[in-house]
Chains A and B, each alone.
Chain A
């Protein structure tokens, strides 16, 4: 049985991949993951919705229209906003987590995992209840006399970013908490003993050392926020259009598959660009 071979290599470092064991998952990926993407790429080179002529027309149409370029830009912007908002909230929480007893840490992890494990659809639904005209925020503001008429929070970018912040925050927190717990206390003590304030210690010691965790988290948040179709379409409404809604509408409503394929590959490139920018940032930070 080759499974055992992998498990019983006599030396801690083995010298070859056990290909027979990797093959089942590898082949599954080739057939059900890589092949579909190739088909997607192929269909994007049809010039018309009926898929009769080949040509670059779908690509040209997408990348020369100001409306679609703005959709790309808005999608990127939404991802960046989500990363910034989750970062501002997650770092302080991670610092509190680090300072907590192990019992308190378990409670905090439960609190963090809870929203992650409640369906995205339900979290989106929760934010409708909160942001609606008769929702929690408007009732609180009106009760406090801060506003006379209810604010429009649904179908605004602010409302969507707020909702995505809660929906994606666990993705930022989990890698951040892991690296925060591994941080060497001696380095922090040394910084403090040398007279650095807590602010300075945070920005000069803690932040640089936890950057790899932040990059892991930011990657997940960015990838997730830019593709959050249900949150975007339900909270953003029809007025705010992002790439996922465009893909869905073009493929399932308009049935222009070549154009949907172009939009879909654009989303893929957008996310990959974000991921590469983040990992470049990580390498840049390590060398300076």
Chain B
């Protein structure tokens, strides 16, 4: 294609390039600013920091002074872990149930299994609180697991269904023709081929649970505190620089996880496709 550069085309390229640059800046700058702030020497949240130190990381890892943060972090990890494991198993089964079925009932099931992604989870959080309270169930980490489970299962369901749709049915036919039992075919052919999809979904689900505010806001208590809620409390009272240190730790942990996940599951391809 020969491209003539008319003034209109040049103005288009400039506009697109400029706005795209701003978009990247807006996406990246806040993350970098938080990381830089976490190394500050002072109590104030100044950027750029007047001096660099590991003071706030020291504070954050202090077992006594930061004990509530550690408890909240462990609670969050526990809830996210169990919600992801249970949610993944249920979602994979559900995805198998409707894959390659073109009936309206399958479409309806798919839509309802995905609905927590767009329905306001904050409304759900309050509904869950009222539900458990009407049943007379006392708040506990198990309730948080149940609440998170419903909200994060769609992530696994979606990626698993996408993997199953891409699966070549000829492979399964061949396996069946060669005398493999249904379960054998599932174990040796379907499961290995959809595992990266399941893993990518489970990764997103785990992050969504670790990050969840709307459900934890209502279901967590002082005894079962969760990390995002604890951080919100720290932000509301005094602007504690330890939040920046928590951010630093979480960002590095997620970056490592992302690189690992990308190696094993092609996460970046999967999310954009």
Q: B15 touching A227 by the CB < 8 A rule?
A: no
Which of A109, A234, A265 touches B268 (beta carbons < 8 Å)? A109
B23 touches A126 (CB 8 A): no
Supply 15 A–B pairs (Cβ within 8 Å), ascending by A.
A8-B172, A21-B96, A24-B89, A32-B128, A37-B127, A89-B22, A91-B19, A110-B268, A113-B258, A123-B31, A126-B247, A130-B47, A226-B120, A227-B123, A261-B130
Is A284 part of the binding interface, using a Cβ–Cβ cutoff of 8 Å?
A: no
Stretch of B51-59, B61-69, B208-216 lying at the A interface: B208-216
CA distance A24 to B86 in the complex (A): 10
- Residues A16 and B103 in contact, CB atoms below 8 Å apart: yes
Closest to B15 in A: A92
Q: Is the CB of A18 within 8 A of B96?
A: yes
- Taken residue by residue from 162 to 189, chain A's Cβ proximity to chain B (1 for < 8 Å, 0 otherwise) reads as 0001100110001001100100000001
**B228 and A121 form a contact (CB under 8 A):** yes
Question: In the complex, which residue of chain A has the Cβ closest to the Cβ of B266?
Answer: A106
CB neighbours (8 Å) of A126 from chain B are 30-31, 33-34, 247
Known: A5-B182, A15-B103, A126-B34. A106 touches B235 (CB 8 A): no
- A1-41 at interface with B (beta carbon < 8 Å): 1, 3-22, 24-26, 28-29, 32-33, 35-37, 39-40
In whole Å, how far is B211's beta carbon from the nearest beta carbon of chain A? 5
- In the complex, which residues of chain A have a beta carbon less than 8 angstroms from the beta carbon of B149? 28, 32
How many Å lie between the Cα of A260 and that of B185 in the bound state? 51
Contact A122 B250 (CB under 8 A): yes
Q: Looking at chain A's contact residues, is the secondary structure mostly helix, strand, loop, or mixed?
A: helix
CB <8 Å contact, B126 and A96 = no
Q: Is A43 an interface residue (CB 8 A)?
A: yes
A244-B122 contact, Cβ under 8 Å, with A25-B153, A121-B235, A198-B8: yes
Known contacts being A17-B103, A122-B250, is A10 close to B228, with CB within 8 Å?
A: no
Residue of A nearest to B9 (CB): A198
Give the complex CA separation of A125 and B211 in angstroms. 14
Interface centre among B16, B130, B175, B182 (most CB of A within 10 A): B130
Residue contact B20 to A95, C-beta cutoff 8 Å? yes
Give the docked Cα–Cα distance between A244 and B217 (Å).
Answer: 11
A22/B235 contact (C-beta < 8 A), A118-B247, A125-B34, A169-B27 known: no
Q: Check B113 against A8 for contact (C-beta < 8 Å).
A: no
Contacts of A136 in B (CB 8 A): 33, 47
For residue A48, give the distance in angstroms from its CB to the closest CB of chain B: 16
Select one of A1, A8, A111, A197 contacting B28, CB under 8 A: A111
CA distance A178 to B6 in the complex (A): 29
Of B19, B103, B190, B213, the contact of A92 (CB 8 Å cutoff): B19
- Given A4-B183, A24-B90, A234-B232, check contact A112 B27 (CB 8 Å): yes
Contact A247 B250 (CB under 8 A): no
B211 touches A120 (CB 8 A): yes
Q: Does B222 contact A (CB under 8 A)?
A: no
Please judge, given known A-B contacts A122-B247, A202-B12, whether A8 and B100 are in contact too, CB under 8 Å: no
Cβ of B90 and Cβ of A13 under 8 Å apart? no
Closest B residue to A33 using CB positions: B150
Cross-interface CB contact of B90 among A11, A28, A40, A95, cutoff 8 Å: A28
Q: A15-B103, A122-B246, A134-B44 are in contact. Are A8 and B131 (CB under 8 A)?
A: no
- Which residues of A have CB within 8 Å of B74? none
Given that A1-B182, A114-B28, A122-B34 are known contacts, is A265 also in contact with B123, CB under 8 Å in the complex?
yes
B216 to chain A, nearest CB (A): 11
Asked whether A26 lies within 8 Å of B94 as measured between CB atoms, the reply is yes
* Complex CA distance for A33 and B149, rounded to whole angstroms: 10
Q: Which of A55-63, A65-73, A267-275 participates in binding chain B?
A: A267-275
Question: Is the beta-carbon distance between B235 and A128 smaller than 8 angstroms?
Answer: yes
Asked whether A223 is an interface residue with its Cβ less than 8 Å from the other chain, the reply is yes
Contacts of B116 in A (CB 8 A): 33
Cβ contacts under 8 Å, A14 to chain B: 99-101
